[in-house]
Structure 1
Amino acid sequence: MTPTDTIAHQPKGVDTTGPENGTGVPTLVASHEANPVLERDAATKGSWMAYVKTKQFWIAMVLGQTLAICITSTNTLSQLLSNEGTSIPAFQSLFNYILLNIVYTGYTLYKLGLKGWAKMVVKDGWRFFILAFIDVLGNYFIVLAYRYTTILSAQLINFWAIVVVVILSFLFLKVRYRWTQIAGILLCVGGVGVLFGSDHITGFNQYDALDAVKGDLFALLGASLYGVSNTFEEFLVSEEPLYVVIGQLGFWGMFINGTVAGIFDRSSFRAAVWNADVGGYLTGYTLILSLFYSLAPILFRLTSAAFFNISLLTGNFWGVAIGVKVFHYHIHWMYPIAFVLILVGQIIYFLRQGSLAEQKKPWLGEAQDKGVSGIGTAKRRVENPDAIV
């Protein structure tokens, strides 16, 4: 996955090794002139179905649903842990950051060497610290919200994350949204509305809130933090190799999450039940969440933080689908309709975009020469027109 990620800051058309790369792999910065990928994108910009017909679109759709299933699986495992009497939301995420740090920081050290890694941390570590801090707090406040408010209220407020991403992308990343993208987002939200309507009819997920106002405020804060971290991570992975970003997220997240767990989870940890089932649930939770953190940056590169968030809206459907087996739920007839509406909304989102669509980041220049060349990036396709991702 990561060996193709290289950093290039040299002028257009120059074939050199990027000074911050440290890999010894020459990086070719493709010129806009006569480049078939850029020419095709320019010719199809604003055309109907241009991106939907590409392999990249279907890869993005499958990847988005894979991430939705990952999140649903971690939520299911959290519920199983709670059923066992073990509710340690901050502590259980600590193992995820530790695993990410071991795998990706280890690979970063292999690629850059100890001195190269240290220079990177001194130069850019503050950016990754901020990303990890926002990510850890976002996770914590969302979990905290579910203690006080209803699932319905918390999930409705999570739509705020999409709004935050769209606003931040427009203001800071120079992203300009077409009306079809806005329509697609609204249809996806409407699909989730159908899910909530089904829950209301069947009484599923309905229970009294312990403190609705406090819970809703926590959910709103968590959703805002999610929106900021998603947008910031999309920006970082467009400029840096994946192994650097994920490794630094794991490195700083390990310390930040450990501190949060030490402060807020001490009493919960002492009261927790520890047995073989709990160990298995924690292991599964860690592995699936680490897979989620590994795949999400690729979707940020292929599409955007906005599409990432609307992809996760199908999580409610997958949650009930998994719950049929695990918790003996029953799927209401409105659930498949809602699922299809969300998928159709995702198609409409890309209905009038060029062949590169959101893979081409506006802040990286016309030929994407300011960005990294790696899996999922437009620059990789510009340099190698035969590359799929």
Structure 2
Amino acid sequence: MNLREFWTQRTIVGLVLGQFLSLLITSTGFSSSELARKGINAPTSQSFLNYVLLALVYGSILLHRRKPLKAKWYYYVLLGLIDVEANFLVVKAYQYTSITSVMLLDCWTIPCVIVLTWLFLKTKYTLRKLTGVVICVAGLVLVIFSDAHAEDRSSGSNPIKGDLLVIAGATLYGVTNVSEEYFVKSADRTELMALLGFFGAIVSACQIAIIERTELKSIHWSAGAAFPFVGFSLAMFLFYSFVPVLLKISGSAMLNLSLLTSDMWAVLIRIFAYHEKVDWMYFTAFAGVAVGIIIYSGGDKKVDSSVDEVADGSTKQRSKRLDEEAGSNNQGR
């Protein structure tokens, strides 16, 4: 394989878009960390504006097209619920652990995605790819070990609790990533974003009314508090808007592998913006994750093709049902 065959337009777009999404995730982490430092603890409220923007922007497009939904609406209700809780858990973790830990532990989504795509999308993974995942998980273990034994640095009020919240949220992210990959390939990107935003906003509003109403009233709003709050929502809106594009191009596994570079940006933020000391285990963990990515990316080319086959299969089945219904109607006439 020569360089021209390797550096295809699809590859370049996937890499560039992946790094753009990685920077967006880093900015959301920075915003959440800033809000946590200011004592603002309203994780669901942070995501609410993002869901509203998704519903307004993509909902308007969906209504203008006036086409029937390609997937059942209650699937989007469940997806919205899982997505809201995933964001809640990860943003909540910033109250207890460091931004670097959140960014590193967030890559727990990768093994979750691999298991889910293998079970439900019938994606096949080589031994080399699975070895890469194991090495990535080993890096996660180093992060938890570092947080458990580091008492001389600013790592949060309860690092272990924060780490567990991130892992739980990352698991739910795996569910949403795989679901979105399926919907974007078998249904429609605009439909996905519109209904995810609509139902996500409803779930968020209910959760805010129940558990965050008092917290919002106690916040002393200022430019310093509003800027990271709005910045988080805008970054999340852009992230959600472009994730389906990368999912369609490269799949959910590539998405989460691309997001691992956000760990590097998180370390730089922690060193230069917060002037904090970073434990040496973080660098060891990041090196392990990097090695795992290299090993993973060296697999065969047919790994993600089964996802398209599943999506194409469901589309063909839906078309077949429509044809059969049309045929029966013609016979009735």
Q: After TM superposition, is the score higher than 0.5? A: yes
TM-score bracket for the superposition, by shorter chain length? 0.7 to 0.9
Corresponding residue SS for 2:260? helix
The range that moved more, 222-231 or 53-62, is 53-62
| TM-score of the aligned structures, taking structure 1 as reference length | 0.68
Select the residue among 179, 190, 195 that pairs with 1:248. Answer: 195
Aligned residue for 1:209?
A: 158
Aligned residue for 2:258?
A: 311
Q: Deviations over 1:92-138 (max 9, x none)?
A: 2111111111111112222x22xx3xx428x6211111111110011
CA shift at 1:291, angstroms? 0.9
Aligned residue for 1:351?
A: 298
1:60 aligns with 2:14: yes
CA shift at 1:284, angstroms? 1.3
In 2, are the aligned partners of 1:234 and 1:301 still within 8 Å (CA)? yes
Aligned residue for 1:120?
A: 69
CA distance in 2, matches of 1:223, 1:338: 18
Aligned residue for 2:223?
A: 276
Select the residue among 37, 49, 62 that pairs with 1:95. Answer: 49
Q: Deviations over 1:129-161 (max 9, x none)?
A: 111111001111233345457778867764543
Q: CA RMSD in A?
A: 3.7
The one-letter amino acid of 1:229's match is T
Structure 1: gaps spanning 5 or more residues: 1-46, 372-389
Aligned residues with identical type, % of pairs: 33
Task: Summarize the Cα distance change of 1:337–1:69 in structure 2 as closer, same or farther, 3 Å threshold.
Answer: farther
CA shift at 1:309, angstroms? 2.4
Aligned ranges 1:1-389 → 2 under 5 Å: 52-110=6-64, 112-113=65-66, 116=67, 119-120=68-69, 124-147=72-95, 158=106, 160-190=108-138, 203-207=152-156, 209=158, 212=160, 218-329=165-276, 342-354=289-301, 358=304, 361-365=308-312, 370=316
Corresponding residue SS for 1:177? coil
Structure 2: gaps spanning 5 or more residues: 318-333
The one-letter amino acid of 1:70's match is L
Q: How many residues align?
A: 316
Task: Summarize the Cα distance change of 1:350–1:183 in structure 2 as closer, same or farther, 3 Å threshold.
Answer: same
CA shift at 1:169, angstroms? 1.1
In 1, are the aligned partners of 2:42 and 2:215 still within 8 Å (CA)? yes
Task: Summarize the Cα distance change of 1:142–1:279 in structure 2 as closer, same or farther, 3 Å threshold.
Answer: closer
Q: Deviations over 1:214-269 (max 9, x none)?
A: 66664454233222111111111111221111111111111111111111111211
Greater helix proportion: 2
Q: Deviations over 1:291-312 (max 9, x none)?
A: 1111211222222223322332
The one-letter amino acid of 2:193's match is I
